Structure 1
Amino acid sequence: MSEADVLLHDKKQNRRSLRLVFTLSLGALLMVFSAVSVFTFYRLLETNSVIKELADKSIPRILKFDQIANTANELRQYTEQLSNARTPPSLRLARSNTQAKVEQISTLFNEVSSDPITITEFDAISEELLELQALVEKRLLIVDSLNIAEGKVYRLLSSFASLHPTESDELLNRRWAEQYADLFTLTTQALALNRLNEIRQLKDNIQASVNKLLPPNDFPGLELQQTIRQLYDEFADLVLSQRGVIDLRMEQLKIEGRAVGRGNFTANLVADFARSVQFQAALISQAVVEESSRKNRMIGEQIQVITISLSVALVILIIITWHLKVRVIDRLTTLDNLVKGNLDFSHARSAISGNDEITEIAETFEQFANKIEIQQKELAKLALLDGLTGVANRRAFDSEWAKQFSQAKRFQQCLSLLLIDVDYFKPFNDFYGHQKGDAVLKIIATTINERLHRDVDLVARYGGEEFVVVLPDTEKAGAAKVANQLKDAIEALGIKHEKSGVASAVTISIGTSTLPAHESDSYTPEAIIKQADVALYCAKKLGRNRVEQS
């Protein structure tokens, strides 16, 4: 193993792997984040269980109790309506409403658990409502009976009023009218009073007035006496008997009082029941609030732990990010600029120095870049050479000609151009074959190149069987001399050419043109080439194997 291989092996052994560094760093960061995530997950599960309990049990139970309380308040209103019902339709409506609310409360009670006292209160309310309904129904029956009896009484009193005992005895008629008016007044007052004692007193007064009525025998005629006696009996039966209107009125007031009392009592029971239910809802709400406060404190403490853990993880992340930027990103950016050619490796070496993978990549790239540079130079050189003859190609000529023309004008120097054409090359190709023709072109190119003794002189293949020679700082006579030397050299090769029209060997024709030293401003590169081309044309016209100057 060579010394270089030993050094390379030691360097790899001592290399600090970025992959290992960042794997350990990211592993530590991942562990911290995993711990925080697991801790947060279990805290969220606990919080979710609390919220779920609130959403599924506590809050619905509170809402149910509130709904029971609201329904109880509505039941209280319907209880008052039931207590104040004065007609069968209003009784049926109030009874239907109260039954519906009782059933609604009973259904809600089945959905929530309540204390036995509240349930007992509700059972008592249900029983009281049934008794209140019975009292109201009885009151309506008595009212109906009383209305019928009152109608009979008023019709009877009308009979009293329409009766005229005699037409001749004004005193008797007046006494009869006074008795009727006194009975009508007392009876009407008794039916209008709302106090039992006053009604009893008026009943006694009515009885006294009845006792003072004129005897039937005081009236003339048996038929009239019989009518008056019948009226007296009917009045006593309708008004003063145990089932008379006076007693019915007193019975009505008693039932009314009991109904009102029962209604107020029931309404108060319902109100107490509503307050009891609201109190239970308040207790549940208070318990929920206390539990929520306790959970909030726990969550606050957990948030502090999570915040500290995340802060630690963030610090680790910042350190890793900074290290990543300094040791990786900045160096990779420098390496990228180096790859793009924006930096020289000698200047970038310090920025990417180290003993890790990036340094190894940079060194590998340096070797690769050096190899590419050598290859590019070789390719550039090959790109400027003709593939067949090995001399400069047309592209190299165009570049060199433009450069030499510009330089000649700047320094006021002569510049000559030789345009060379192989005589009768197509018949040569057709007769001897293309391979022989290619070989002749190679020989001619080599011969021309060997006859040019200055480094600044250039021979290039211009196209097909044409060559061009650039002679910097060469006047017209010098160009003619070089042209004749080249012509003679090619002819001296003695390459057999049976199809030539001028000689038995291969020959060339040359046209020359020269840029004057002090008249260069009136010429262009294309004009000089054009002049050489015209001179070559003249050489061909004049018999070939010759040199002509423009």
Structure 2
Amino acid sequence: MKSDFSSLMVPSNLARFISSVRVVLSTAIVVVLTIFIILVSQSFSQLLDVKHTVNEFTERAIPSITTANRLYSDINTLTYLTERMAYSRSKAELRINFDDVKHHLEQLSIVAAKFEGNVFFKVQLQTVIKELYELQTAVKDQLNKTEKFSQTQQDVYYIYRNLLTKENVKDNNKSSIDYYNWQQEVADVIIPVGEVAQTEHLSKVRELGTIFKEHIAHLRTFVSAFPNYNSEKINNGLTNLENKILGQDGLVQLKIDLIQLRGRTKGRANFMHNLILDYANQAEYNGYKQKLAVETAAKEQRQQLEEKIQVITFMAVTAVLTLCITLWFLHVRVARRLLVLKDTIKRKLHGEVVQIDTSGNDEIADIAFSFNIYYKTVMQQKEILEELSLSDGLTGVPNRRAFDGRLKSDIHIAKREKWSMSVLMIDVDSFKPYNDNYGHAKGDKCLQAIANTLSNQLSRGTDFIARYGGEEFSCILQNTDRKGAELVAKRLVDAVYQANLIHEYSVASDRVTISVGIACFDYSNNANESKDIVKCADVALYEAKSRGRNRYVVYSH
């Protein structure tokens, strides 16, 4: 495209324009020639300034502002990601969240590197990365401590169940008063365990530790006062229970450590949050400075242009009497042609089929020729954009928008020709478990493979396949009755099954399968519109799902 518009470069055009006018005005008086040269030089200077300003805006100012805005947006996203990481509930979740934050930081560092000479962004980013690893360590310690607390809690309940066994009472009749009293006393010790797990206050945990100590001491006294209890075995159990609750690695101490760890983790997360906010504020301020600099430069340039315009206007008014003949000539050779070109361009932009005259060997011909190139390029880009807007970016097949347009068109054709027409709604069975267990990347590859398989099975040029949304596809079969639609549907179901895409989590098979709903209409009887066809095909699709998937079902009225 650059070579197509090279003829529009300002200095080259002006040089040619000046040269041609000198030849035309060779017979003009010296005063007219002098005034004209001055006017042209002023105009040339103004155009150079405009070119410089435009280059400054497009090459530096606008990219700088865009980069600053993107940096600010990415930093705000980083705030959310780090907060999500700080509240990870498992090691797997922590690992995933940490990888997300680290990947985002890598992208952020690329954007931040575009700010030349701004050391703050580099230093601050290194600090954020360092704090990220510190936060990861803190969250990991908290998760480890939580696992240890849960395991110790299970050990306490295990000891509790052992203490309740009837062998601890010599009279092992479960209905005896001694056994009942024993159950009651042991339960009083265990009840506060749940309170320790639920509370988040250190004072409450320490208070519960004192209660545990008192209950266990009371339980020892209770056991020693009655001969029917197996004192030796019970005391051993109570010792184990006391160690698991009040020991150095007991429930109480673990809960205290866990509360303190959570506090430190929250504090580090808040610190990192504030650190990122400082980073975001600096990025926002940097963007503001860039914007302010652009506005200042634009204001200065506008003022300079206004001054030069005033000078040119004054000189033009002064020379108007002596330039009458020259202006008349220019009107015939230049102005009239420009007006014709302008009107032609307007008509062409409004959609009229007109041909722009590019004859001649001057600047106006270059402008006309360049506009023709520009217009053709815009039309080509418009066609490309329209094509992209009708294609699914993942699978390469047409998208929902293309499907809706094609369906309306095919219904119109079917009504006109009095044809039958069939619509197939296709859904990938158990695709959510596939995504959840194999990952979104493999899920995308699976959809691409299915789209390719379905497309290869449609042999007619009039058959149309599209991605309807998510894991759902749709197919239009023009001039196809129920029998033909069933043959196509069976071919599609078999083809996907034979593609042997492994799916261990499907409820229908050990590989990826599809379900198909078919809606067939005879448009010789003025059948329903497009939305009704799709609705009927959807009903059939749900029926195929309810019958066990990996099959097709035809909608019946």
| TM-score where L is the length of structure 1 | 0.51
How far 1:242 sits from its partner (Å)? 0.5
Aligned partner letter, 2:88: A
Aligned partner letter, 2:184: E
- In 2, the alpha carbon distance for the partners of 1:22 and 1:123 equals 68
- In 2, the alpha carbon distance for the partners of 1:26 and 1:158 equals 120
- Per-residue CA deviations over 1:298-345 (Å, capped at 9, x if unaligned) read 0111122223334445543325568999xxxxxxxxxxxxxxxxxxxx
Of 174, 177, 181, which residue of structure 1 is paired with 2:183?
177
Contact 2:75 2:279 in 1 (8 A): yes
Q: Match of 1:445? A: none
Q: Match of 1:130? A: 133
For the pair 1:264 / 2:270, whether they are aligned, the reply is: yes
- In 2, the alpha carbon distance for the partners of 1:225 and 1:292 equals 94
Aligned partner letter, 2:260: K
For the pair 1:237 / 2:240, whether they are aligned, the reply is: no
| Alpha-carbon distance change, 197 to 28 in structure 1, aligned in 2, over 3 angstroms | same
- In 2, the alpha carbon distance for the partners of 1:84 and 1:193 equals 18
For the pair 1:106 / 2:123, whether they are aligned, the reply is: no
Matches within 5 A, 1:196-235: 196-214=202-220, 224-235=230-241
| TM-score where L is the length of structure 2 | 0.50
- Per-residue CA deviations over 1:474-495 (Å, capped at 9, x if unaligned) read xxxxxxxxxxxxxxxxxxxxxx
Bigger mean CA offset, 250-259 vs 157-166: 157-166
Of 43, 67, 70, which residue of structure 2 is paired with 1:64?
67
Bigger mean CA offset, 296-305 vs 105-114: 105-114
- Per-residue CA deviations over 1:118-143 (Å, capped at 9, x if unaligned) read 44333322222221111011111111
Contact 1:239 1:245 in 2 (8 A): yes
- In 2, the alpha carbon distance for the partners of 1:185 and 1:236 equals 14
Seq. identity, %: 22
- In 2, the alpha carbon distance for the partners of 1:219 and 1:312 equals 127
- In 2, the alpha carbon distance for the partners of 1:156 and 1:324 equals 108
How far 1:29 sits from its partner (Å)? 4.2
Q: Match of 1:93? A: 96
SS of the residue corresponding to residue 219 of structure 2 reads coil
Q: Match of 2:143? A: 140
- In 2, the alpha carbon distance for the partners of 1:37 and 1:22 equals 14
Contact 1:72 1:105 in 2 (8 A): yes
> Structure 1: which 5+ residue stretches go unaligned?
1-20, 326-550
Of 37, 40, 44, which residue of structure 2 is paired with 1:37?
40
Contact 2:71 2:108 in 1 (8 A): yes
Matches within 5 A, 1:475-514: none
- Per-residue CA deviations over 1:428-473 (Å, capped at 9, x if unaligned) read xxxxxxxxxxxxxxxxxxxxxxxxxxxxxxxxxxxxxxxxxxxxxx
SS of the residue corresponding to residue 316 of structure 1 reads coil
| Alpha-carbon distance change, 315 to 234 in structure 1, aligned in 2, over 3 angstroms | farther
How far 1:214 sits from its partner (Å)? 3.6
How far 1:170 sits from its partner (Å)? 3.9
Aligned residues: 304
- In 1, the alpha carbon distance for the partners of 2:211 and 2:26 equals 117
Aligned partner letter, 1:56: E
- Per-residue CA deviations over 1:484-541 (Å, capped at 9, x if unaligned) read xxxxxxxxxxxxxxxxxxxxxxxxxxxxxxxxxxxxxxxxxxxxxxxxxxxxxxxxxx
- In 2, the alpha carbon distance for the partners of 1:154 and 1:299 equals 86
For the pair 1:74 / 2:80, whether they are aligned, the reply is: no
Q: Match of 2:324? A: 318
For the pair 1:274 / 2:276, whether they are aligned, the reply is: no
| Alpha-carbon distance change, 278 to 323 in structure 1, aligned in 2, over 3 angstroms | closer
How far 1:58 sits from its partner (Å)? 2.3
- In 2, the alpha carbon distance for the partners of 1:23 and 1:150 equals 106
Of 246, 252, 257, which residue of structure 2 is paired with 1:246?
252
- In 2, the alpha carbon distance for the partners of 1:287 and 1:171 equals 90
How far 1:248 sits from its partner (Å)? 1.1
Contact 2:164 2:182 in 1 (8 A): no
How far 1:111 sits from its partner (Å)? 1.7
Bigger mean CA offset, 115-124 vs 49-58: 115-124
How far 1:246 sits from its partner (Å)? 1.6
> Structure 2: which 5+ residue stretches go unaligned?
1-23, 332-557
| Alpha-carbon distance change, 323 to 214 in structure 1, aligned in 2, over 3 angstroms | closer
- In 2, the alpha carbon distance for the partners of 1:102 and 1:110 equals 12
Matches within 5 A, 1:112-123: 112-123=115-126
- In 2, the alpha carbon distance for the partners of 1:289 and 1:260 equals 43
Q: Match of 1:372? A: none
How far 1:289 sits from its partner (Å)? 0.7
Contact 2:25 2:33 in 1 (8 A): no
How far 1:233 sits from its partner (Å)? 2.4
SS of the residue corresponding to residue 243 of structure 1 reads coil
Bigger mean CA offset, 118-127 vs 160-169: 160-169
Aligned partner letter, 1:150: Q
Contact 2:186 2:219 in 1 (8 A): no
- In 2, the alpha carbon distance for the partners of 1:281 and 1:78 equals 23
Contact 1:76 1:270 in 2 (8 A): yes
- In 2, the alpha carbon distance for the partners of 1:22 and 1:267 equals 73
Contact 1:72 1:101 in 2 (8 A): no
| Alpha-carbon distance change, 149 to 22 in structure 1, aligned in 2, over 3 angstroms | closer
Q: Match of 1:338? A: none
- In 2, the alpha carbon distance for the partners of 1:302 and 1:54 equals 21
- Per-residue CA deviations over 1:150-172 (Å, capped at 9, x if unaligned) read 22222222333444623469443
Matches within 5 A, 1:324-343: none
Structure possessing the higher radius of gyration over alpha carbons: 1
Contact 1:191 1:246 in 2 (8 A): no
Contact 2:205 2:252 in 1 (8 A): yes
Q: Match of 2:461? A: none
How far 1:32 sits from its partner (Å)? 3.3
Aligned partner letter, 2:251: V
- In 2, the alpha carbon distance for the partners of 1:323 and 1:122 equals 66
Q: Match of 1:420? A: none
- In 2, the alpha carbon distance for the partners of 1:234 and 1:297 equals 88
Aligned partner letter, 1:176: W
Contact 2:178 2:228 in 1 (8 A): no
| Alpha-carbon distance change, 324 to 57 in structure 1, aligned in 2, over 3 angstroms | closer
- Per-residue CA deviations over 1:39-71 (Å, capped at 9, x if unaligned) read 222222222222212221222122212211111
For the pair 1:84 / 2:90, whether they are aligned, the reply is: no
Bigger mean CA offset, 70-79 vs 108-117: 108-117
RMSD of aligned alpha carbons: 2.9
